[in-house]
Amino acid sequence: MEEQIACFNREILSEYLDQSKVFYDESLWHRILNNLQYIPRRLVEGDRRYKQLVVYILIKAKDLYLAYRRTEKAGEKRLRYRYSIGIGGHVNLLDQAQSTSSGRKQVDLISRAMWRELEEEIEINCNLLNEPELICFINDDSEDVGKVHFGVVFLLKIEEPAISKKGEEGIGELKFWNLSDLKAKKSCFERWSRLLIEYLVKIKEK
């Protein structure tokens, strides 16, 4: 069955268009959730009328953040071999089908997509300290990947830096880094991760 992914019209981002920005806007989030539509992935990969919704999960153990290198099997070809601090991927129609019919349907949709991505990619070998918390968005219209994607960033805190990968699909070496090291190695990371590292450094320095 052809994959159909959650998208929204980029004009919803009118005040953030043509920007590279990490931010949070609660009213915008509600507008996005209320205007999602499902379109075959092959039709929207290069269609700049739409933003594809992507969950992007940071994993933190004490003061360390999980980082990894994408392999040649990464789903998004344009991100292969780059380092990342976000586990994630598209929200798809299957996530919607599995969501509840309650008033929290769209919230459940995002949660299911997020846990599906985590369970597909990694094994968490320690206790969780929280439910993943929505901390910010990433909109980056400075390059081709960012022009058609919109990142919804969650933070998951775990007890120890104990993560292993599942198989060899998409994710290569795993390592936990502190924020200072991430800042020093920032140039090795994919664009979204670089923006997010800068955002996390600013928060810490406040």
Provide the β-strand partners of residue 68.
84, 174
What domains, with CATH codes, occur in the chain?
4-205 (3.90.79.10)
Contact yes or no for 41/4 (Cβ under 8 A): yes
Cβ count within 10 A of residue 107: 14
Global pTM value: 0.89
Query: What are the two backbone dihedrals, phi and then psi, of residue 150, each rounded to the nearest 5 degrees?
Result: -135, 125
Contact of 194 with 148, CB cutoff 8 Å: no
Could you list the beta-strand ranges (E) of 24-84: 37-40, 50-61, 64-70, 83-84
* CB 145 within 8 Å of CB 54: no
**pLDDT tens series, the chain, 206 aa:** 788 999 999 999 999 988 899 999 999 999 999 999 999 999 998 899 999 999 999 999 999 999 998 775 545 555 556 899 999 899 998 887 554 444 445 668 899 999 999 998 899 999 999 989 999 999 999 988 899 999 999 999 999 999 998 865 668 889 999 999 999 999 999 999 999 999 999 988 87
